[in-house]
Structure 1
């Protein structure tokens, strides 16, 4: 078996394990985790000050960041959510007041309107099935976020997940993977070694 095949098998096994664990989460636990994540994100000086923030709308049992997004909108900030375009890539679209989202690809709620210029984005909140302590992310396997963020070097990219989604094992990495600058869970920030100069403090 080649190294590439071994990495694919390892990722498939991890995805199945992490998806099963996420499916098993009950509604009260998800709600408590979302409330804690909301408080943690908004306590970050970088997130609080951002005027242009790209994020995601939770699907299934993903950790919801909706509370933080509504608060950013109430501050007058622009929130951009992903939409799968005709080329099967992600655009980020101004979601306005978050009250006009429509079901899109894979049943995920998406905004309408033109794609935004990514150069204005200051913060990106990224979901994942798992994150390792080096900042590497395990996604759904479709590569949408890796492609969308390939040229985003000016923004702070924050991986968001439940506490157990920050795993001790090192995830298999590919050349195209985009590591997170920092990882937020309901109870802590984790700053990977290569991002230790970021201002958001570890807890």
Structure 2
């Protein structure tokens, strides 16, 4: 078996395991985790002060960040959500007051309007199936976020997941992978070693 095949098998195994565990979460547990995570995010000065934040709208059993997004909108910040475009890539679109979202690709709620200039975004909240201690992310396998964030070097990337989604096992690396600067869970705020010198002041 080639190294590439071994990496694919490892990722497939992990995706299946983590998806199954996420699907098994009951609604009260999801809600409690979402409330704890949003409180944690809002307590971080850099997040609290940010005026332009790109995030995601939770689908299925994904950990919701909606509470923090509504808080940011109430502060007068602009929140941008992803939309799959005609080229099968992610655009980030100003979501306004978060009340005009429509079902889009894969049934995920999306905003309408023009794509924004990514250079204005200060923080990206990025969902994932799993994250390792180095900040590497396991996504759905379609590489939407890896492609969208490939040229982003100015913004803080915060991977978001349940506590158990920060796994001990090192994820296999691909050339296109974009590591996170921080992993945020309901109980943890993990800064990977390679990012600590860059972002300690932003915690």
**SS class of match (1:159):** strand
Distance apart, 1:108 and its partner CA: 0.2
Q: C-alpha deviations, 1:70-116, integer Å up to 9, x for none? A: 00000000000000000000000000000000000000000000000
Q: For structure 2, which runs of at least 5 residues remain unmatched after alignment?
A: none
Write out aligned runs for 1:43-54 (5 A).
Answer: 43-54=43-54
Is structure 2 residue 172 aligned with structure 1 residue 152? no
Residue matched to 1:96:
96
Residue matched to 1:124:
124
Q: Within 1, Cα distance between the matches of 2:3 and 2:183? A: 28
Write out aligned runs for 1:55-66 (5 A).
Answer: 55-66=55-66
**SS class of match (1:196):** helix
Distance apart, 1:188 and its partner CA: 1.1
Residue matched to 1:161:
161
TM-score by length of 2: 0.98
Residue matched to 1:67:
67
Q: Within 1, Cα distance between the matches of 2:74 and 2:182? A: 25
**SS class of match (2:12):** helix
Q: Within 2, Cα distance between the matches of 1:174 and 1:10? A: 12
Give the aligned CA root-mean-square deviation in angstroms: 0.6
Residue matched to 2:188:
188
Residue matched to 1:82:
82
TM-score by length of 1: 0.98
Q: Within 2, Cα distance between the matches of 1:182 and 1:44? A: 12
Residue matched to 1:135:
135
Distance apart, 1:200 and its partner CA: 4.4
Q: For structure 1, which runs of at least 5 residues remain unmatched after alignment?
A: none
Distance apart, 1:125 and its partner CA: 0.1
Aligned length in residues: 201
Moved over 2 A (4+): none
Residue matched to 1:114:
114
Q: Within 2, Cα distance between the matches of 1:169 and 1:45? A: 30
Q: Within 2, Cα distance between the matches of 1:187 and 1:62? A: 16
Q: C-alpha deviations, 1:12-51, integer Å up to 9, x for none? A: 0000000000000000000000000010000111110100
Q: Within 2, Cα distance between the matches of 1:44 and 1:114? A: 30
